[in-house]
Each structure stands twice: as structure tokens, then as C-alpha cells.
A and B are shown apart, each in its own frame.
Chain A
């Protein structure tokens, strides 16, 4: 069974640009969550989607957005990039909201110059 797949794995952008990250969950998993990981702030929850609807949301500005498609694949978008957005963005899937453990992808490492 294939795991959680994130693309791209690495990317470099400049301030002011926007970026879209993609996540394909484990087959049969309908919930997808996104996390930002930085050395200073640790792991921070961005949002969780289930059945194409945002079910939980962290404390991030509106520049961070996401969506989920009918096949459960998810994308997150960051607009007007800032230097502080440099981070490892992790996607995780689970069967449903409130149903146990997350399975993580290997992450997309974003560097903003």
C-alpha cells in the first residue's frame, strides 16, 4: 500500500511569490492534515480537510489556504511568501476526523529567499 506522497520535495521561491504544495493520501483515507515545521516553532497545525471540507484550522494568516478534491488529494497554497515561511511542510492522512493516528509524508521543504 502506497504511503502519503508529497510533491515537490524541495523548492525555492522568492519573497512575494506564491507556492502550491500537493499531497496524495493513503488509499482509503479521507482526511488530510497539513503541518508547518520550523526549528523555532516546532510542529504547527495548519488545517485538516475531510470530504472536501475544512474541518479544523490552526492559527495561521489567510495567506495560507488549502483545498481537497473528491479523490481526497489535497493542495495547500501560500501566497505573498515571506522569509518566515521557510519550513518543512508536512502532510498527513488518516481514515477520518477523530479516528486515530496520522500517517505522514516526507514533507515539502520550502526555502524563501
Chain B
């Protein structure tokens, strides 16, 4: 079985300050992990993905995430927030091999990021 927990439902930062969105996962098999972003009334856009290569993954718009197996975490960070980063962010886990959930993606509940001027 797989699951994902986004530890904060809302995060508020000032423009130019760092962003940290936290995600913990549970997976019976080697997972793939993703972060998606959703702007209001839009579909989801892939920010970055981890599929067992480098544990530090760089994505679009300056975001990156680090896969930490010992902590079962995949936190999303950005050094300096921009007003355009205000959106909802989803952490996603997928079992890459084996099990009845093979190929099935499980989404976290989302974290709404607010960026203040």
C-alpha cells in the first residue's frame, strides 16, 4: 500500500524568502515521487519527479526536492519565492514495481502556498 502526507495545508511566505513544502510518503516498493502545481481553475502541471536517479531533483521555476529514504520524505524547496508561485502544490507517490497498486498514483491533500509582497 502507498500513501502520502503533506504536513501543511497552508504555507505563507513573503516574496523573496525561502519556500519549504513538506511531504512524507509510505510505499511498499521502490517509489516514484512527483510534485505538481495547480493554479486557480487550471489543471496540474508537473514541477519535478524522482525515479531513483539522483536524490536531489531539480524542477522548473527554481524548485527542487530531495528524496530521503531514511526519513521517507520528499520536501519541496525554493530559495526565493515569487508572487507567481502562489498556487496549490501536490505531492504524489507511485509504486514503480510490483504490488496491486502498480502504476497507481496517490495524491496528497495539497498545500496552498500564499506569497505576500
Which residues in A have some Cβ–Cβ distance to B below 8 Å? 4, 33, 35, 42-43, 45, 48, 55-56, 90, 92, 97-107, 109
Contact = CB atoms under 8 A, between A and B. Distances in A.
A48 B106 CA distance: 13
B50 to A, nearest CB: 11
A98 B110 contact: no
Contacts of A103: 46
B56 interface: no
> Contact residue range for chain B?
20 to 34
B110 A43 contact: yes
A6 to B, nearest CB: 8
Given A43-B107, A45-B105, A55-B103, A100 B49 contact: yes
13 contacts: A45-B104, A45-B106, A48-B103, A55-B103, A90-B44, A92-B44, A97-B103, A98-B94, A98-B96, A100-B49, A102-B44, A104-B43, A106-B42
Given A43-B110, A48-B104, A98-B102, 15 more contacts: A35-B107, A43-B107, A55-B103, A90-B43, A92-B43, A98-B103, A100-B32, A100-B49, A100-B51, A101-B49, A104-B36, A106-B41, A106-B42, A106-B43, A107-B42
B29 to A, nearest CB: 11
Interface in B95-117: 96, 102-107, 109-110
A56 B104 contact: yes
Q: Is the interface of A mostly helix, strand, loop or mixed?
A: strand
Q: Is the interface of B mostly helix, strand, loop or mixed?
A: strand
Nearest to B102: A98
B34 interface: yes
Interface in B61-114: 90, 94, 96, 102-107, 109-110
